[in-house]
Structure 1
Amino acid sequence: MFKKLLASVGIGATKVDTRLFNDSVVPGDLLEGEVHIIGGDVPQNIDDIYLKLATEYKRETEDSTEIEEHIMVNYRLLERLNIQAKEEFIVPFSLQLPYEMPLTLGGTPVYVRTGLDIKTAINPKDRDALEVRPHPLMHRVFEAVEKLGFHLHKVDCEYAHYLGGVYPFVQEFEFRPEGNYRSHLKELEIIFHLSPHELEVLMEIDKRARGFKGWLDEAFDVNERYARFYLTESDLYDMDVETMIDDIIQSHLQ
C-alpha cells in the first residue's frame, strides 16, 4: 500500500523514455523510434500513451511578447496498457513529419513530447529535441541568397495567421545585405511554404531609405515590397535560382 501511495506522487512510479533512431531530419521525413515504458515498484494501469510534435512561436500583445507552444502532430500510440512492477514494454513508432514544420536554425525549438496518462498519479513525461535541417529546395534558396551577398541575420517564428499557412505562425528568415546590395537594401526576408511537390517562397524586399523622400516612404511602409516564386524538385538541376532572385530584386529597385 505504501509503495502505491509513493507511486501516485511519482516516487517509484512507471517511467517513459523515447529513443529516436535519428534526431536530425528535414521537413517531410519519416521519424522513427521506440518508446520504452519501464514499470516502477507497483503495477499501474496506463490509460493513454501519446507523442506530440511541438514547437514555439512569439505572439505580440499590447504590452509584452508571449511565447506560445504549438502542437503540430498529436499521435496516440496505445490505449489501456497494464504494466507490472519492473516490467519493460517497448512501443515502436513511425511518424510522418509535416512539410511545413519550422527549421531549428536560429534556436527555434522543435521537440517530441511523450507522455503516459495514469489516473490518480503524476503522469510521466519525456522530451526529446530534434534538429530540423533545410529541405533540399530550401537549401537551394539559401545557397542562392548567400551567393548574392546576403548573410542570415535572424530567424523568428511569429504569430501570423493572416498568411494562410497550416499553423498560426510563420518562420521568417531575415538576411542582411553585403557587397553590391549593401547601399540599396536594408534587409531581405524570406518565408517558406513547403508541400510534397513544391516550395513556395515569399520574399519581402525592404529598400533602404534615401533622403527626405526615402524617409517619408519608410515612415508609411511603402518601401516594403513583396515577391513570390515556386520551386519544384526538377528546378534543383534545371533552374538558375541565383539569377532569378537577383532579377526579382533588381526589378523592385527600379
Structure 2
Amino acid sequence: MSIFKKALASVGVGAAKIDAVLDKRDYMPGERLEGEINIVGGNVEQNIEAIYVRLYTEYEVEHDDKKETRTALIGEFLAAGAFTINIKEKKVIPFSGTLPYDIPYSIGKTKVWISTGLDIKQAIDPSDVDPINIIPSPLADEVFRAFQELGFKMKSGVCKEAGRRHQLRLPFVQEFEFIPYAGDFRGKLDEVELVILSTGENVMEVMLQIDRKARGLSGLFAEALDMDESYVSLSIHKHELPGLKNTLYQLINKYA
C-alpha cells in the first residue's frame, strides 16, 4: 500500500499541500516581501529539496501584426532548503525577500503574482499562486502626478517586449499611454507614451515618445511615415521633484 501511495503522491494525489500567506497585499518596488508558508503533509512521507517563492508577470509580444502573451519571471527567493515532511505533519516557515526595483506596477492590464512551490524530486511539485499589488514608488507617483497636472490622463498601462536597443534585466518594459484632455497640449498632441526604468530608490530613467497631432496634408504624410513621433529621455533624481512639472512641460513643449 505504501508503494501505491508513493506512486499517487508522485503525481500529486495525496501529496503535501502548500499555502503562502503574505503580511500585506500592497508593496512598492524595493520593499521587503514577507510572509509565511504553511505546509501540510500528505498520505506519505516526502523529502522536500527546497521551497521557492517566485515573482511573475505577463507581457505582450507582437510579430507579423499578431500579439501573444508571455509569462516572465521577475525574481525568486529561496525560502528553505532540504527537509522531510511527515504524514499529515504541519509546518510553518517564514520567508522574506526584497522586491526588485524594476518590477512592474499593477496598473491597467498588468498583474503580478507570486508562485510558492515545494521542490520534490521525481514528483509533481505542489504550488500556490497569490496575486500581489505593486503600487508606484514615490518617484513614479510624482511623475504620474505631474502628467495629470499638465492636463494628461492615463489611458493604459501594459508590459510589452523590450526592443533590442534596450539592455535590460527583464525582457519587457512597462509602457504608459497618456492622452491630453486639457491644458496647453490639448489639440497639439495625440498622446505621450512613457516608460519608466527604475534603478534605485532615488533615481529613475524616463523615456518619452511624443506623438504630435497631424495638421493638414503635410501632417498626415508625416503621421503615415511615423515622422510625427519624437523620442526623448531624461534622468529624474529625488532632489529634482519640486521642479518636475516644469521640466516635463519644457521637454514636451519642445516637441509639441
Could you tell which deviates more after superposition, 114-123 or 149-158?
A: 114-123
The aligned counterpart of 1:189 is 193
Q: Structure 1 residues 165, 5: closer, same or farther in 2, change over 3 A?
A: closer
Q: Which residue of 1 aligns with 2:102?
A: 100
Seen in structure 2, the aligned counterparts of structure 1 residues 114 and 192 have a Cα distance that, compared at 3 Å, is same
Q: One-letter code of the match for 2:237?
A: T
Equivalent residue, structure 1, for 2:74:
72
Deviations 1:135-158 (A, max 9, x none): 000000100101111111011111
Structure 2 counterpart SS, 1:106: coil
SS at match of 1:3: helix
The residue identity in structure 2 corresponding to 1:232 is H
Alpha-carbon distance in structure 2 between the residues aligned to 1:63 and 1:145: 30
TM-score after normalising by structure 1 = 0.93
Equivalent residue number for residue 123 of structure 1: 125
Unaligned runs of 5+ residues in structure 2 are none
Contact 1:8–1:121 (CA under 8 A) maintained in structure 2: yes
1:178 aligns with 2:181: yes
Structure-to-structure mapping, 1:4-15, within 5 angstroms: 4-15=6-17
Of all paired residues, the percent bearing the same amino acid is: 39
Question: Residue 75 of structure 1: CA displacement?
Answer: 2.2
Determine helix, strand or coil for the equivalent of 1:221. coil
**What residue identity is the alignment partner of 2:245?**
E
CA RMSD of superposed structures (Å): 1.5
Partner of 1:89: 91
Q: Does 1:210 align with 2:215?
A: yes
Superimposed CA distance per residue, residues 191-237 of structure 1 (whole angstroms, 9 cap, x where no aligned partner): 0011223011111110001111001111111111122222222233x
SS in 1 for 2:140: helix
Structure 2: how far apart are the matches of 1:100 and 1:8? 37
Matched, 1:243 2:242: no
Of residues 138-147 and 189-198 in structure 1, the stretch that sits farther from structure 2 once superposed is: 189-198
Say yes or no: does 1:166 pair with 2:169: yes
How far did 1:248 drift?
A: 1.1
Q: 1:89 offset after TM fit, Å?
A: 1.7
- After superposition, give the CA deviation of every residue in 1:169-189 in whole Å (9 maximum; x if it has no partner): 110000111123221100011
Question: Secondary structure at 1:187's aligned position in 2?
Answer: strand
Contact 2:107 2:158 in 1 (8 A): no
> Distance between the aligned counterparts of 1:102 and 1:132, measured in 2?
7
Q: Which runs of 5+ in 1 are unaligned?
A: none
Report the Cα offset of residue 6 of structure 1: 3.2
Give the CA deviation at 1:166: 2.0
Structure 1 CA distance for aligned equivalents of residues 62 and 157 of structure 2? 16
* Structure 2 length-normalised TM: 0.93
Which residue of the partner structure matches residue 225 of structure 1?
A: 230
Q: Output the CA distance in 2 between the equivalents of 1:80 and 1:90.
A: 15
Shift of 1:240: 2.1
One-letter code aligned to 2:228: N
Contact kept, 8 Å, 2:53 with 2:114, in 1: the verdict is: yes
Q: What letter corresponds to residue 177 of structure 1 in structure 2?
A: P
Q: SS at 2:238's partner residue?
A: coil
Q: How many residues align?
A: 251
Matching residue of 2:204: 199
The 8 Å contact of residues 16 and 126 in structure 1, kept in 2 or not, is answered as yes
| Cα offset, 1:62, TM superposition | 2.5
